[in-house]
Each structure stands twice: as structure tokens, then as C-alpha cells.
């Protein structure tokens, strides 16, 4: 270990209160703990929730709304749908259980089908994007919240469903938040119209219970105890100025004192810092005395190739400790067993949205209390554990209670389009659980107006025929618009490819250590027309070799993401066919494609200034070409770009060369005073 004059922070830790995630409240439903289960039925009966079964069924039978608080391991998500079904509640229709994530919906459906001893897709099924494993027999349906939202466009009263269970509600994704309003409205209207009632059950891990209960007509809150083990929380005595150093010292403090089978999970903010700390840890571990056990350091973040992500699940060799350095992916998406110690830096990298500038900023910031508890909980899944917080108890007390709901920190154009498609009459006064700012609502309305998606009649906003078609696509409004106008430029096939490429994580793989190789091999795809055309070239080359994996490796193309592009493209193409769009290809005439992009993305245009800088025409802010763009060294007079990202400067990413004429013809009124210098 490097020489360090300060005592290690772990020595400076002081114990906080032991953490039991659910506050015991009067009237709560108490479980009995069981031993190792043998069969599926026995397992079901040994879940904490089983003891409360009949009481729960009685309550849920009578209630139209209920909020269920239950920790992980309580069995609420798998059992409650079955209890309802077995008790004959909601049998006239389907019981839907929504999840924020695809994998969760799929695996829960699998688990419940197994418990019901039926083939997946019969009584129990799931629906996620690209996969519908249901049949007319399906009564218990697991689905992503985004999927139910999309279904609601065709059926705003959700008449196929008798019960909707909104699970993981505490995560407050945009989709869940919009669904809150949709199910509440459907419930009220069905009552008014004397239709079969809709039961709404909100499930949450912890926190903001009052908000849920208030929103759903002061519905009763039921508490379920889980199988979480106690976790001892430690805080530092002094604030830490360098959380990375504090993490490093804490890791080795634990490593030297704890039994080797006890694994450590460290929550950090991003790839770069994780890889750097991993290297340091490995270096230090090499020079430890032999009395100290071995250590295996495993980085974990989303952009890691799948094979490397799987390493976190492999048990460490005997006598060796696993130290996992992870982003917040390990908070919810990836659950690792055997974690005894959690080290929480208290920091997270998150996107913030500024509605005034339309700018997204990715910044390191403090976690919320809810997030800190979620992180701590990862240490107590199989046995009791410890969580070392690299901040003081006072600092903890000053954290925000919960993370700001996503709906209050994102661009709302898509949400507003969807609400209008749902037939919500007064979007500005939609019954949100947490209202977005009027400013971001106004911005969204303006964006839709510019795209020609909405029209105003006597203060009422409604969708134009174009807007209705835009809402059919699972895309940002401007992307949907670009596809819809592509037949005018006879290039729908190319635009479908480009929009699909922009809708998934990057298909370009850029390992920094092999930078020169990457540049050399990518040269053959590069187009002076910009990044969109370059991406199109790569996709065409990929198709030519039928998606050959070897080709992907040689050309530094991410084959998983390329596969996803093909799926998205097929889905979008289907929608085009349903809408009767003419599918033409412009082949080598790529100016058509650029002209189409100019028409669809004109609000994201920038103009070269005499001094060599760029100005975004929409907001007049100074922007720059991101060095990763193929146009970085070029100085085109006009470009459209895919997004602005504020880091060291305000960068445009994914650029396409366009003519000023095209922008003017796309939105003459809008550009009348905006374009002033010479045309390109």
C-alpha cells in the first residue's frame, strides 16, 4: 500500500444504527422464517408473505386501491398475482404485473409459470418489446411498464385487465409515472361507465409511501416483512475529500481483517474511475504480505461485454476474496450473491436536464437516502452484513430523501405525444403524481408544434394526422417524424437504418489501448457527409457479410448492439408497412438521406461562424463538434446533430452535413431570422 500519513478511514468509521429496511408499524403482517425449501410448493409456503396470505386476500378483495410495501425477498411480486388468481379475484380479465426492466418481467413470468406448473405463455405469460409470450389463455401477465403504456394507446380504459399491479413503483421511471395517471383515470372512467372495475395495486420497496397512498385516493398501506438480514451501517467520523482514496483504503482495511470468503461490493460512478481503481487494487494486492489472502478485482458496468459481466457471478477460488467495483448497475439490475460488505462512495453519475437550454448534463452527484439504503441492502441478502459509507452521518442526514423522479428531469416531448395519443384532453393539467415544471411542459409543447404534431383549437391541444402517426413509433418524436417524411425523399430504407442505429447503444467499439488499430480499420467506412452516413456504411458492410462475428471483431463493431439494431429496424419497418408508407431505397443517392435528416432534425441545427466556432440555431449557444465525430477536422457551414452533451464544453454528437436551403425549406418561418451568414 502506498505510504499514507493519515489513519485509514475504516479506522475512522463509527457505527451507525443497524439497518432493518422496513420500519415495523402496528398492524403489519408478520411472517415466520423457514428452513431450506425442497419443492416449489414448499418454497412458496416458506416465503415470508405466506403467513399473511388469507389476511391479504381478504383485504385486497375489498380494496380498489392498495399500496404494498415489501422488501426484496418478501415474495410479493411472485405470490400476490397467484393469490389473487387462486382466490378468483379479477378472473374476468387479465392480471397485469408491470416491471421497469425486461429481464425482470421475463424471469418473474418464468418463475410463476414454474410454480403454477404450466408452460410459459399459457396461464402465465409475459410481454416485452420484441417478445410476446402470451396466448388467449394468459391470465397472469408480466410486462414492462412501457409495454402497458403502449397498449393503453389502443385501449385507454385497459379493458382487458381487471387488476394492474405496478411493481417497483419506488423507482419512479417515466413510464411508471405516466402509468400512475393512466390507471387512475381508467379506474375512474370504468366506474362512471359501469364497466368491470379495475383494481390497482402499487408495490414499492420503501419510502414515499404517503405520496402513493395520497395519490390513489388515500388507499390503505399494507406492510410485508421480507427476508432481509440486519446490516450494520458505519459512517466516517470526518468528511472525506477524496472518495476514491477512501474507497481504496477501506477495501484493504476489510481485506486484511475479514475472512476471505466475505466478498466486497464497492459502488462508484463510472467506467474510467472503476478501471483505474481496479488497476491500483491489483497492484497493491500483488505486494501484500503472504499472510494476507488473495484478492480478485472485478469491474462491473453496463458497457462491459456480456462475457465479462458474467465474471461477477463466478465464485472466487477458495481462500480468495472477490472485490467488485460497480456502477449503480448493481443497485437494481444485477444481483450478486455472497456480498458481505458494501462500500458506498455516496456518489453517482446521473443525467440532469435543463429545460431552458434543452441541454443534458451528465454529472457526478450525491446519491439520495433511498439510493444509499438500496446500496446497503445489497450486503444483507443471504446473511447479516456491513455497509461502510464513505461520508459522515451528518452528511447522510443532509442527502435528499429520494431521487428526483425521472419525469422531472427529462425532455417531455415523447411523454406529451403519448398522452395526446391516449386522448388525454388537457395534457397541461394531467394528474401527475409529481408534476413536471411548467417550463419543461411548455418546451415539450413547442417541440411538438415545430414538428407539426399538434394543433391548437380554442386553447385545446390535439394531435394532427402526422402527430397520430408519430405516436405509433416507439421513438423520440423527432425520429418518428424523420421516418414519416422519408418517403418524400425516396429513402425510407436508409432512414430506417440510421434511426435504428441512433436508437441503440453505440455499435462502435473503442478500446482505448488499440486506438490506432481502430482508426486504421474504420477509415474505409468514413464519409465526408458525416456520422450518420458513416454509420450507414458500417451497417451495409455488416449486412454484406451477414453479420459475421469475426468481421465484427476485426472491425471493432459491437455485434450485440448490431443485432439489436436489426431488431429495432424490423419493428420500425413493420410499423411503416402498417401505416402504408412507401418503402424505397435511395441506394447511392445519399444527399436525399441528408436532406431528409435536415427536414426531421432541423431544430438541432448549427451554423459555422466567421471565427470558426459553431452556434446552435435554436438556442444561440456556442457549441463544438465532438472529437469523436468524423467531421471533427472538417468545417462544414451547416450541420444537424443528434444530441448536445455538456462536458468540458458543449459538444454536438453525431453530425450530418446539410445545406442551408434544406433547413429553410423544412421550416421557413422558424429559420427566417435564424440563418444569416452565407449559404453553404
CA atoms within 13 A on the CB side of 427: 26
The string of DSSP codes covering 176-240 is HHHHHHHHHHHHHHHHHTTPPP-EEEEEESSS-HHHHHHHTTT--EEEE---PPPEEEEEESS--
Q: Which of 30, 302, 383, 577 binds DNA (CB under 7 A)?
A: 302
- How far is it, in rounded angstroms, from Cα 212 to Cα 634? 53
Give whichever of 48 and 600 is closer to DNA, judged by the CB atom: 600
The string of DSSP codes covering 207-219 is S-HHHHHHHTTT-
User: Which span (206-214, 344-352, 455-463, 533-541) binds DNA, by CB under 7 A?
Assistant: 344-352
Q: Which of 85, 252, 651, 662 binds DNA (CB under 7 A)?
A: 651
User: Which span (146-154, 156-164, 190-198, 553-561) binds DNA, by CB under 7 A?
Assistant: 146-154
Contact between 128 and DNA by CB under 7 A: the answer reads yes
Contact between 645 and DNA by CB under 7 A: the answer reads yes
Give whichever of 44 and 101 is closer to DNA, judged by the CB atom: 101
Phi, psi of 249 (to 5 degrees): -65, -40
Give whichever of 19 and 430 is closer to DNA, judged by the CB atom: 430
Contact between 101 and DNA by CB under 7 A: the answer reads yes
CB-count burial class (<10 Å; 0-12, 13-18, 19+) for 174: buried
Give whichever of 100 and 125 is closer to DNA, judged by the CB atom: 100
Residue window 171-200: x/- pattern of binding to DNA, with contact defined by CB under 7 A: --x-x-------------------------
Contacting DNA within 438-477 (CB under 7 A): 474-476
CA atoms within 13 A on the CB side of 589: 11
SS3 250: helix
- Nearest distance in Å: CB 14, DNA: 30
Contact between 77 and DNA by CB under 7 A: the answer reads no
- Nearest distance in Å: CB 351, DNA: 4
- How many other CB atoms are found less than 10 A from the CB of residue 629? 21
Strands 359-366 and 638-646: parallel
Residue 396 vs residues 344, 352, 366, 523: alpha-carbon distances, Å:
11, 22, 10, 50
Q: Which of 232, 434, 503, 621 binds DNA (CB under 7 A)?
A: 503
Contacting DNA within 322-341 (CB under 7 A): 327-329, 333
Contact between 362 and DNA by CB under 7 A: the answer reads yes
Give whichever of 116 and 150 is closer to DNA, judged by the CB atom: 150
For residues 452 and 420, the answer to whether their CB atoms sit within 8 Å is no
User: Which span (18-26, 100-108, 225-233, 489-497) binds DNA, by CB under 7 A?
Assistant: 100-108
Contacting DNA within 367-426 (CB under 7 A): 414
- How many other CB atoms are found less than 10 A from the CB of residue 14? 11
CA atoms within 13 A on the CB side of 165: 28
Which residues on adjacent β-strands are paired with residue 339?
A: 263
Contact between 354 and DNA by CB under 7 A: the answer reads no
Residue window 147-166: x/- pattern of binding to DNA, with contact defined by CB under 7 A: x--x----------------
CB-count burial class (<10 Å; 0-12, 13-18, 19+) for 200: buried
Phi, psi of 89 (to 5 degrees): -85, 125
Give whichever of 181 and 474 is closer to DNA, judged by the CB atom: 474
The string of DSSP codes covering 477-531 is HHHHHHHHHGGGGT-HHHHHHHHHHHHSS-SB---GGGHHHHHHHHGGG--TTBH
Q: Which of 466, 653, 661, 670 binds DNA (CB under 7 A)?
A: 653
- Nearest distance in Å: CB 334, DNA: 7
Contact between 351 and DNA by CB under 7 A: the answer reads yes
Contact between 138 and DNA by CB under 7 A: the answer reads no
- Nearest distance in Å: CB 629, DNA: 9
List contacts with DNA (CB under 7 A): 100-103, 128-129, 144, 146-147, 150, 173, 175, 269-272, 301-303, 327-329, 333, 348-351, 362, 414, 474-476, 503, 505-506, 510, 512, 515, 626-628, 632, 645, 647-649, 651, 653
Amino acid at each position: 500500500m502506498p505510504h499514507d500519513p493519515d489513519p485509514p478511514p475504516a479506522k475512522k468509521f463509527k457505527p451507525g444504527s443497524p439497518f432493518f429496511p422496513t420500519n415495523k408499524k402496528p398492524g403489519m403482517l408478520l411472517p415466520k422464517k423457514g428452513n431450506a425449501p425442497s419443492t416449489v410448493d414448499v418454497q412458496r409456503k416458506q416465503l415470508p408473505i405466506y403467513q399473511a396470505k388469507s389476511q391479504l386476500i381478504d383485504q385486497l378483495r375489498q380494496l380498489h386501491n392498495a399500496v404494498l410495501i415489501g422488501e426484496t425477498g418478501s415474495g410479493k411480486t411472485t405470490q400476490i398475482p397467484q393469490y389473487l388468481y387462486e382466490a378468483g379475484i379479477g378472473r374476468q380479465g387479465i392480471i397485469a404485473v408491470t416491471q421497469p426492466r425486461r429481464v425482470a418481467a421475463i424471469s418473474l413470468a418464468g418463475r410463476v409459470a414454474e410454480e403454477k406448473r404450466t408452460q410459459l405463455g399459457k396461464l402465465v405469460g409475459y410481454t416485452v418489446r420484441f417478445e410476446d409470450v402470451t396466448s388467449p389463455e394468459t391470465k397472469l401477465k408480466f410486462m414492462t411498464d412501457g409495454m402497458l403504456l403502449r397498449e393503453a394507446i389502443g385501449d385507454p380504459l385497459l379493458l382487458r385487465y381487471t387488476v394492474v399491479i405496478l411493481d417497483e413503483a419506488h423507482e419512479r421511471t417515466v413510464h411508471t409515472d405516466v402509468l400512475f395517471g393512466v390507471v387512475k383515470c381508467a379506474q375512474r372512467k370504468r366506474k362512471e361507465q359501469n364497466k368491470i372495475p379495475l383494481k390497482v395495486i402499487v408495490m414499492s420497496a420503501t419510502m414515499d409511501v404517503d405520496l402513493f397512498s395520497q395519490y390513489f385516493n388515500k388507499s390503505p398501506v399494507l406492510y410485508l416483512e421480507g427476508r432481509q438480514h440486519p446490516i450494520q451501517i458505519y459512517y466516517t467520523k470526518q468528511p472525506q475529500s477524496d472518495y476514491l482514496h477512501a474507497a481504496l483504503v477501506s477495501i484493504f482495511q476489510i481485506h486484511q481483517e475479514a475472512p476471505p470468503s466475505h466478498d466486497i461490493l464497492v459502488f462508484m460512478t463510472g467506467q474510467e474511475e472503476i478501471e483505474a481503481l481496479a488497476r491500483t487494487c491489483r497492484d497493491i494486492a500483488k505486494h501484500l504480505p503472504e499472510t494476507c489472502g488473495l484478492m480478485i478485482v472485478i469491474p462491473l458496468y453496463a458497457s462491459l461485454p456480456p462475457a465479462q459481466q458474467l465474471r461477477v457471478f463466478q465464485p472466487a477460488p477458495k481462500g480468495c476474496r472477490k472485490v467488485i467495483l460497480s456502477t449503480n448497475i448493481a443497485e437494481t439490475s444485477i444481483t450478486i450473491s455472497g456480498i458481505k460488505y458494501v462500500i458506498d462512495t455516496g456518489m453517482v453519475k446521473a443525467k440532469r436536464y435543463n429545460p431552458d437550454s434543452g441541454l443534458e448534463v451528465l454529472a457526478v452527484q450525491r446519491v439520495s437516502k433511498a439510493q444509499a439504503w438500496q446500496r446497503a441492502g445489497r450486503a444483507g441478502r443471504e446473511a447479516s452484513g456491513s455497509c461502510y459509507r464513505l461520508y459522515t452521518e451528518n452528511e447522510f442526514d443532509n442527502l435528499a430523501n429520494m431521487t428526483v423522479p425521472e419525469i422531472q428531469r427529462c425532455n417531455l416531448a415523447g411523454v406529451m405525444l403519448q398522452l395526446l395519443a391516449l386522448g388525454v384532453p388537457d395534457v397541461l393539467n394531467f394528474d401527475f403524481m409529481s408534476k413536471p415544471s411548467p417550463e419543461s411542459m411548455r418546451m415539450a409543447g413547442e417541440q411538438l408544434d415545430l414538428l407539426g404534431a399538434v394543433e391548437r383549437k380554442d386553447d385545446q391541444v390535439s394531435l394532427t394526422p402526422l402527430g397520430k402517426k408519430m405516436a405509433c413509433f416507439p421513438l423520440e418524436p423527432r425520429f418518428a417524424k424523420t421516418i414519416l417524411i422519408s418517403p418524400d425523399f425516396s429513402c425510407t430504407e436508409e432512414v430506417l437504418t440510421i434511426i435504428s442505429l441512433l436508437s441503440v447503444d453505440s455499435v462502435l467499439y473503442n478500446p482505448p489501448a488499440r486506438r490506432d488499430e481502430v482508426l486504421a480499420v474504420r477509415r474505409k467506412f468514413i464519409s465526408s457527409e458525416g456520422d450518420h452516413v458513416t454509420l450507414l456504411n458500417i451497417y451495409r458492410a455488416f449486412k454484406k457479410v451477414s453479420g459475421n462475428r469475426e468481421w465484427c471483431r476485426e472491425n471493432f463493431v459491437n455485434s450485440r448492439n448490431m443485432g439489436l439494431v436489426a431488431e429495432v429496424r424490423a419493428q420500425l419497418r413493420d410499423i411503416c408497412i402498417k401505416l402504408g408508407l412507401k418503402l424505397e431505397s435511395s441506394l447511392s443517392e445519399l444527399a436525399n438521406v441528408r436532406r431528409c435528416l435536415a427536414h426531421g432534425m432541423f431544430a438541432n441545427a448549427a451554423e459555422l461562424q466567421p471565427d470558426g466556432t459553431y452556434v446552435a440555431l435554436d438556442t444561440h449557444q456556442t457549441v463544438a463538434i465532438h472529437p469523436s465525430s468524423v467531421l471533427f477536422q472538417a468545417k462544414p457551414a451547416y450541420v444537424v446533430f443528434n444530441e448536445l452533451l455538456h462536458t468540458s464544453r458543449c459538444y454536438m454528437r453525431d453530425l450530418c452535413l446539410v445545406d442551408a436551403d434544406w433547413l429553410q425549406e423544412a421550416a421557413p418561418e422558424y429559420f427566417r431570422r435564424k440563418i444569416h451568414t452565407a449559404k453553404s
